[in-house]
Amino acid sequence: MSAAFRVVSEFVAGVIVGALLGWQFDKWLGTAPFALIGMLILGTASGFWNVYRLAARPSSPRQDDGR
């Protein structure tokens, strides 16, 4: 259960951070919804990337030299 929870939280965190970054960029640069949309997509991608990395090396992160 804790492994599943870890995967979920990694994924959700990616999406949340993407959304927050996009929102703040929009506020900062005044580029209506475009930064939000772009960063949301990027955040989702990085969420998947987090999950993939978790699945690719489930244990002992010290001994990874491949990938």
Partner 1 sequence: MAATEKVIDPIHQFQIVPLSGKIEILGHDYSFTNASLYMFIVVGIACVLMLYGTRKRAVVPGRLQAAMELFYEFTADTVVSTTGKDGLRFLPLVFSLFIFITISNYMGLIPGAFTVTSHIIVTFAFAMLVILTVVIYGMIRHGGHFFGLFVPPGVPKLLLPFISLIEMVSFLSRPVSLSMRLFANMLAGHIALKVFAGFIIMLSAAGGWAVLAPLPLLAMVAISALELLVCGLQAFVFAILTCIYLNDALHPGH
Least distance in angstroms from the C-beta of 35 to partner 1: 13
CB atoms within 10 A of CB 21: 17
CA separation for the pair 54, 7 (Å, rounded): 7
Tokens linked to 52: 């993939």
Nearer to partner 1, 17 or 23 (CB): 17
Q: Rounded to an integer, what distance in angstroms lies between the CA atom of residue 51 and that of residue 24? A: 25
Cβ nearer to partner 1, comparing 5 with 32 = 5
Where along the sequence are the contacts to partner 1 (CB under 8 A)? 2, 5-6, 9-10, 12-14, 16-18, 21, 39, 42-43, 45-47, 49-50, 53, 60-62, 64-65, 67
